Structure 1
Amino acid sequence: MNPTALRAGWSRGLIELRQSFTNGAELFSHFLWPVLMLAVMFFMRERSFGSSGLLLGTLALPGILGMNAGLGLVSMSQHLTADREDGTLLRAKATPHGMPAYLIGKVVYVSGSLIADLAIFLIPGLFIVEGLHVRAGSWPTLAWVLVLGLVATLPIGAVLGSVFTSARGQGLLQLPVMAMMAISGIFYPVTALPEWLQWVAQAFPMYWMGLGMRSALLPDGAVAIEIGESWRHLETAGVLAAWAVLGLLAAPVVLRRMARRESGSSMAARRDRALQRVG
């Protein structure tokens, strides 16, 4: 990677991240989702899961951390599609090292935004939810699961963002992502689902990110309601690494192909189609 592109991308990402916390609308969006999830935690805090003695709020909090981190895939896709539609990608393509710098900046921005949102949710959540077991080893586990999870999901998000030609098409992405959330043990242990759905959930990174977060924050006895009664750290690292390799191999190829096809005429055609739909 060219050092100039790295420096430009890093600076670009930090500028976008700083702007997102000084813009009223974006600042509101940073707090909206964490506050809604904290409200869910508050109402779930006294409800228990079966005869396990564990509270649903205790089980759900680390799962929500994993879910929010996994939603970086959607955020990356949406940003790339929007920038493609308004010509930002075309301008990046026209400058030296523009595309690598753009992608680095977007990764810095999306990752920084996610980490901030997770902190907004986690810090008050630790006081609202009872039964968590935060220890010295919790923070390193949270860190490696989060980093590996972002590497596994952000490249896939970039690939999906290059596939959709307009922001309207992003609605097609929301449905499968919501389905993954529903079966990934975020709000309810995955072992309560039919066995075939458990296998489907384990094919995607969101389940493993949630499992890794639960292993860091839940008491040792909570492992009894997980698949195989194990936190399966090796499997977590293996599946997330496999998704990371897949994304890192596919993203450069797909993005280069998309950048080659991007031109002023193609952007004008998309704009004309959008205006016809509005008209």
Structure 2
Amino acid sequence: MNTAPVGTPPARGHGVRVGLHRGWIEFRKAVTSGQELWGALFFPVIALIVMYLLRGSTVPGTTFSLGSQAVPGILALNIVMAGMTGLAVTLTMDREDGTLLRAKAVPNGVLGYFTGRLLSRAGVTLLGLVVLLVPAALLFTGLRLGDPAGWLTLAWVLALGLAATMPIGAVIGALFNSTQGLSVVMLPIMLLTALSGIFYPVSAFPDWLQWIAQLFPIYWLGLGLRSALLPDALAAAEIGDSWRHLETVGALGVWAVAGCLLAPVLLRRTARHESGSRVAARQEKAVQRMDAARR
């Protein structure tokens, strides 16, 4: 028997359940949309093609295929593009078209909205990883795809990697109220991704650049994926001649905790400041940009 007083807002658990249902619906919609899938897989597929063309080249000092060595980096790139930046773009677009404002009008609607967006985007990202791993298993040799220990490492690296990077996308989406404003952070993100060594170890970089790379989760995500998919002998090219699993867990864990603490605060503040006039002003600016682009 429900003893809650009449007019009492639904519990937060209800918002989470609504978010789970919404996330599943959005995920199914995304995987049936060719445009959505192509947008999520475009950069990784291009990288996969490039690495396939380089399959005859070898990692300097070894006989290991350069193409195979780059596969973990392609997976990391997919997490950065489809997961972190994809979530930022989605949240920003939802602020522009009023989706967030409509969610705000429902009790615990913002919680359900963010839960659904987070889960659907994570699902699309993981699906992209599976789609990439299948051709990688056929096209490249030397990967540890038959090693149960490698799969176990891959599982915890992906879990921690998503937990560490997805909140960053939520924070970025909360800070920018238009896709035009969001574009200013895309170049720094791509530059940071390149400097983080997701396609190659950063041990050849100057010491100061190595330290900068290790401050961010993208480096540790790439390192963890390399440890899961590449032979242990290639660890000799890494900093400390080791895969550094404990350090990877610690670094990704710190970023995950920090993001999970900061993102909800910023997202709640963003939702509180949403209003019909703000949405109308953004939509008017978007129309003006489209008109200017047509001229």
| Cα distance in 2 between the residues matched to 1:188 and 1:232 | 16
Higher relative contact order, chain-length normalized (CA < 8 Å, sep 6+): 1
C-alpha contact 1:81 1:162 (8 A) present in aligned 2 = yes
Relative to structure 2, which stretch is displaced further, 81-90 or 59-68? 59-68
| Cα distance in 1 between the residues matched to 2:184 and 2:163 | 23
1:82: which partner in 2? 93
- Establish whether residue 59 from structure 1 lines up as the match of residue 69 from structure 2: yes
1:22: which partner in 2? 32
| Cα distance in 1 between the residues matched to 2:67 and 2:24 | 34
TM-score, normalised relative to structure 2: 0.90
1:155: which partner in 2? 167
C-alpha contact 1:76 1:158 (8 A) present in aligned 2 = yes
- Establish whether residue 218 from structure 1 lines up as the match of residue 224 from structure 2: no
Cα RMSD of the aligned pairs, angstroms, is 1.5
Q: Deviations over 1:7-62 (max 9, x none)?
A: 21111111111111222322333443343232122112111122133322122111
Which consecutive aligned stretches of 4+ in structure 1 deviate over 4 angstroms post-superposition?
none
| Cα distance in 2 between the residues matched to 1:205 and 1:115 | 18
| Cα distance in 1 between the residues matched to 2:37 and 2:269 | 34
| Cα distance in 2 between the residues matched to 1:158 and 1:30 | 17
| Cα distance in 1 between the residues matched to 2:264 and 2:31 | 30
**Sequence identity (%):** 50
C-alpha contact 2:44 2:77 (8 A) present in aligned 1 = no
Letter in 1 for 2:45: V
Q: Structure 1: 5+ residue runs without aligned partners?
A: none
Residue correspondence of structure 1 range 206-245 to structure 2 within 5 A: 206-245=218-257
1:45: which partner in 2? 55
Q: Deviations over 1:98-130 (max 9, x none)?
A: 000001101111110000001111111012112
Letter in 1 for 2:74: I
Give the count of matched residue pairs.
279
Residue among 112, 125, 143 paired with 2:123: 112
Letter in 2 for 1:271: Q
What is the CA-CA distance between 1:69 and the residue it aligns to?
1.7
2:137: which partner in 1? 126
* Secondary structure of 1:228's aligned partner: helix
C-alpha contact 1:159 1:254 (8 A) present in aligned 2 = yes
| Cα distance in 1 between the residues matched to 2:25 and 2:92 | 20
Distance 1:274 1:35, change over 3 A: closer
C-alpha contact 1:30 1:117 (8 A) present in aligned 2 = yes
| Cα distance in 1 between the residues matched to 2:102 and 2:142 | 51
- Establish whether residue 176 from structure 1 lines up as the match of residue 182 from structure 2: no
| Cα distance in 1 between the residues matched to 2:77 and 2:40 | 15
Q: Deviations over 1:184-242 (max 9, x none)?
A: 22223212222221111111111101100111111111010000001111110111111
Q: Structure 2: 5+ residue runs without aligned partners?
A: 1-10
TM-score, normalised relative to structure 1: 0.95
1:136: which partner in 2? 148
| Cα distance in 2 between the residues matched to 1:247 and 1:58 | 32
